[in-house]
């Protein structure tokens, strides 16, 4: 796994061994950033199920202003911290070890881009999307990028949150939600 382009291009990223994390493949990651390329520069990023931190790190490499990377696993947050440091983004990234629900209810800030790629064996995705919409931590015009299994049905949302297009890549599905400008 590596950073695809930008300031940290080519840097290799560490990931946890075993089946607890499922890193996004380079092909899917590149496709995601092709879809959202104009939504990243100068923006505030939240990577809610960080794993290795690769999505936030890729966004920082492509010009995002800052990122918060959240994971409930202490081992994962150590890997994320190492990856952030090795890519030179320690001054732009904050790594938080807590579960997603606790972070969402206590963060008190807004983000322009939120990445959601939770473990597939649970209802975390729907819970996170609903919490983000209810707590309203996405800035006007912001986006939520969800990576799920192809057959996962993601929730419809109410205005100002709009469920957009879904993109299929093998067994993975990318769904983009946007918050309308008010």
Strand partners, 172: 149, 169
| Closest alpha carbon to 101 in 49, 51, 138 | 49
User: Which residues span the domain enclosing 165?
Assistant: 26-179
pLDDT tens track for 148-158 = 999 999 999 98
Is residue 151, in this structure, part of any structural domain at all? Answer: yes
Task: Examine residue 92 and state whether it is found in any structural domain, yes or no.
Answer: yes
pTM given for the model = 0.94
Residues in Cβ contact with 76 at an 8 Å cutoff, skipping those fewer than 6 apart:
16, 20, 21, 50, 51, 52
Is 35 within a domain?
A: yes
Residue 16 lies in a domain: no
46 inside domain: yes
Q: CATH number of the domain that 49 lies in?
A: 3.40.50.150
Per-residue pLDDT tens digits for 83-122:
999 999 999 999 999 999 999 999 999 999 999 999 877 7
In-domain check, residue 77: yes
What total of structural domains would you count in the chain? 1
């Amino acid at each position: 796994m590596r950073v695809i382009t930008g300031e940290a291009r080519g840097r290799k990223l560490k990931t946890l061994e075993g089946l607890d994390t499922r890193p996004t493949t380079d092909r899917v990651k590149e496709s995601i950033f092709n879809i959202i390329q104009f939504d990243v520069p100068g923006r505030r990023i939240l990577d809610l199920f960080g794993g290795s931190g690769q999505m936030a790190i890729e966004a920082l490499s492509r010009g995002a202003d800052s990122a918060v990377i959240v994971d409930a696993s202490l081992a994962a947050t150590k890997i994320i911290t190492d990856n952030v440091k090795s890519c030179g983004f320690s001054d732009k990234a904050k790594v938080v070890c807590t579960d997603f629900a606790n972070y969402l209810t206590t963060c008190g800030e807004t983000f322009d881009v939120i990445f959601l790629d939770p473990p597939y064996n649970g209802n975390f995705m729907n819970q996170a999307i609903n919490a983000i919409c209810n707590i309203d931590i996405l800035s006007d015009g912001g986006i939520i990028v969800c990576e799920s299994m192809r057959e996962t049905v993601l929730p419809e949302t109410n205005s100002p949150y709009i469920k957009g297009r879904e993109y299929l890549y093998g067994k993975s599905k990318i769904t983009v939600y946007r918050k309308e400008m008010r």
